[in-house]
Amino acid sequence: MTVPCLNLQRIQRSFPTREEPRKVLNGIDLEIHTGDRIILFGPSGCGKTTLLHLMAFLDQPSGGQLDFKGEKTDQWSETRRCKIRAQEIGMVFQQFHLLPHHSVWDNLNLRLRYLPQTDPLQDHAERLLEKVGLADRKKQSARLLSGGEKQRLCIARAMLLQPSLFLADEPTGNLDEANADKVRELFMGVSTRGAAMVIATHDKRWFEFATRVYRFNQGQLEQIAL
């Protein structure tokens, strides 16, 4: 059996409150392999974003074990976490995290800053802008983009390094149906190149894209039959 790209075992995450800790994740078990297209389905506030942040090493679990490509991550240094995030993970956030006064091109190429060889990726960046319909916005300031254009720029940025793990949080939440279809087509291309994908959404139209779908129920995951 192949080693999972990501393996979550009994993952818990709680947040302090004035009274008692608020438990958001309560024993998540999930194996994610190359080529998987996993949908995390549920309404706002159910824990989807919290789980994605743990998968991206932007947060740490309150309990349980998370392995990345067979390597235990609980003792990773922050430097190690940042390196893996920069080189192995692409993530589309609900909050765009763009530099508003920088151009579309500059925002896209920020991911290349710490790489020794970037020339081949410049052509890839140009093609990505074409695919997401932003080639004619290349020199425009990010603050002047519409919500849907910002979303598409974030998707291109996440795809730029062809990550082994691709995470997306409501990736079509700001898009009309035509552009949402284009995004699903782009994501399928990411999957066929070998990435493991996890997409959090409340939109059932993503079910057709999925290899597995899970619903949140009281901090745990229940698989939905396709």
At 159-190, the pLDDT tens digits run 888 889 999 999 888 788 888 888 888 888 88
The CA radius of gyration of the chain, in Å to the nearest whole number, is 17
Q: Output the six-digit token pair for 119.
A: 């020339």
Identify the pLDDT of residue 2. Answer: 85
pTM exceeds 0.85 for this model: yes
Phi/psi region, residue 35 (left: phi>0; alpha: psi -120 to 50; beta: rest), is left
Nearest-5° Cα angle at 101, 97 to 105: 75
Residue 210 main-chain phi, psi, to 5 deg: -85, 150
Three-class DSSP category at 164: coil
Give the amino acid at 151: Q
pLDDT-derived band at 120 (thresholds 50, 70, 90) equals low
What's the confidence (pLDDT) of residue 114? 61
Average pLDDT over residues 131-140: 91
CA–CA dist 141, 138 (Å, integer):
8
What Å distances lie between residue 52 and 95, 130, 179, CA to CA?
13, 28, 23
Asked if the model's pLDDT at residue 116 lies above 80, the reply is: no
Would you say residue 7 has pLDDT above 80? yes
Is the model's pLDDT at 119 over the cut of 60? no
